[in-house]
Amino acid sequence: AQSVAQPEDQVNVAEGNPLTVKCTYSVSGNPYLFWYVQYPNRGLQFLLKYITGDNLVKGSYGFEAEFNKSQTSFHLKKPSALVSDSALYFCAVRDGRNTPLVFGKGTRLSVIA
Partner 1 sequence: DGGITQSPKYLFRKEGQNVTLSCEQNLNHDAMYWYRQDPGQGLRLIYYSQIVNDFQKGDIAEGYSVSREKKESFPLTVTSAQKNPTAFYLCASRTSGGLYEQYFGPGTRLTVT
Binding residues (CB under 8 A) for partner 1: these are: 9, 32, 34, 36, 41-46, 49, 51, 90, 94-106
Contact 40, 57 (CB under 8 A): no
Separation between Cα atoms, residue 111 and residue 113, nearest integer Å: 7
Report the residue number, 17 or 60, with the smaller CB distance to partner 1: 60
Q: How far is the CB of 71 from partner 1 (least distance, A)?
A: 21
Kind plus residue range of the DSSP H or E element containing 35 = strand 32-38
Other CB atoms within a 10 A radius of the CB of residue 4 amount to 22
Report the residue number, 19 or 44, with the smaller CB distance to partner 1: 44
Q: How far is the CB of 23 from partner 1 (least distance, A)?
A: 12
Q: Which amino acid is at 79?
A: P
Report the residue number, 31 or 111, with the smaller CB distance to partner 1: 31
